[in-house]
Structure 1
Amino acid sequence: MLIVADADVWVDVSEAMTAVDDGAPWAVPHASVRRLTEGAARAVLAGAPLGDGPLAEPAYRGVEGGGVTVLPRILYEQAPLDPRFAGWGQEDEAWGIALRAVAGQPWRGAAPLYHLWHPPQDRLSRRWGSRDGMTLYRRYRHAARRPEEVRSLLAEIGGIHGVA
């Protein structure tokens, strides 16, 4: 089993791990993303409990493939994160599309995911990271309902990346 997590988030993955152990093809442990303000993130890093500080924006539903994903190693070998995404943006959403195409619908948990504040990376906008990332994501989005086309996109990667 693998837990793939962004370095700036925290969520309880125990129910997601149980779901995968019990046969779920993959799991998204969180229902909501709670982005902490800079002050709240600093307080957490200094030892304050999560959940006590203010949010930078209202909580929202996290995307499949983003934040934290729990999955069997074999699924990651079939649908790895696409290394052609560089910098910030769209790799999460594209990966969610790939996982869904290869393995089906994930188990979805109800836990909150806390995102620690940090200065944003350079990007085109809050939605788009780079033109190359946008183009590649749109290819995944276009292929989303055709698993064979998603598998072709994954085959372009040329091997398993990130699996030792």
Structure 2
Amino acid sequence: MTNLVVIPWRPAPSRIPAFERVLAWYRAELPEFRVETIDSDDDVFVLARTRNLAVARLADPGDVVVINDADTLPEAGPMRDAIAAAPRSGRVHLPYTTYRWLGPEGTAELEAGSAAADCSHVLVHGACSGVYVTTGRTWAAHGGQDERFRGWGFEDSAWRLAHEAILGVPPQRHEGTVYALSHVPETRAGDQYDRNAALMERYREAAGDLDEMAALVAEGVAVRASNATSGPGLAA
């Protein structure tokens, strides 16, 4: 098992405080873990692709990687539980059962010194993003994430449906909380967003049909193979 955390990261002014807080959390709570950042050379930030590239960092497909969004704080106990379970489960692990978006108010309270658990927040029901714990083998077994989702929107929900359909089980959750920090929201509109929404609808329609889902995922894997000729770039 590797002690590797990879953070998808493309600098943006409003995101830097959250990113720095995530780095500080790992230094304090899981100091034995090596933390790296990753980006791609795409003209827009492609979160799905950076997550796939993060898994590709693993030297052995049985090794474990933590993929942690740059604005999301986990808890150490659930994280350690997820890391310990991931090599033998055949599932991706989510080290939380509760997802709290702190928003501007809660994030300001955190910056002022309040504990994350005491900050104002909004509960996000059904969240399946923020932090993933997986082996390379498990990620490949259900196709990873679909790199046709460019910009922002839907890649997480589509991934969850593919995981459930192809692996036959949902991602494994561990009792605990993650805290999403506030920053300037990304634009979720325009032609690319509409294409993302249309692709998400195809995932919803395929959710009850294993063959249809497998074919849809295979399309995405083919796109990833075509993207592989462009190498990732590392942030600082």
| TM-score above 0.5 | yes
Q: Assess, with a 3 A threshold, how the Cα gap between structure 1 residues 60 and 16 changes in structure 2: closer, same or farther.
A: same
Structure 2 residue identity aligned to 1:52: D
Structure 2 residue identity aligned to 1:148: D
Structure 1 residue identity aligned to 2:167: A
Aligned-pair CA distance for 1:70: 1.6
Query: Deviation above 3 Å: which 4+ runs of structure 1?
Result: 42-49, 159-164
Q: Which of residues 104, 118, 125 in structure 2 aligns to 1:61? A: 125
Aligned-pair CA distance for 1:102: 2.2
* TM-score normalised by the chain length of structure 1: 0.81
Aligned length: 157
What does 1:7-156 correspond to in 2, within 5 Å? Answer: 7-12=70-75, 13-44=79-110, 48-55=114-121, 57=122, 59-64=123-128, 66-78=129-141, 79-105=143-169, 106-124=171-189, 130-156=193-219
Q: Contact (CA 8 Å) 1:31, 1:61: kept in 2 or not?
A: no
Higher helix share: 2
Stretches of structure 1 that go unaligned for 5 or more consecutive residues are none
Identity of aligned residues (%): 29
CA RMSD of the aligned region, Å? 2.5
Query: More displaced, 113-122 or 46-55?
Result: 46-55
Q: RCO (CA 8 Å, sep 6+): is it higher in 1 or 2? A: 1
Q: Assess, with a 3 A threshold, how the Cα gap between structure 1 residues 45 and 150 changes in structure 2: closer, same or farther.
A: farther
Alignment deviations for residues 26-61 of structure 1 (CA, whole Å, 9 cap, x no partner): 212211111113243245457653223211x3x233
- 2-side partners of 1:85 and 1:95: how far apart? 11
Alignment deviations for residues 73-95 of structure 1 (CA, whole Å, 9 cap, x no partner): 11222312111111221110001
- 2-side partners of 1:151 and 1:119: how far apart? 36
Q: Assess, with a 3 A threshold, how the Cα gap between structure 1 residues 46 and 76 changes in structure 2: closer, same or farther.
A: farther
Aligned-pair CA distance for 1:104: 2.5
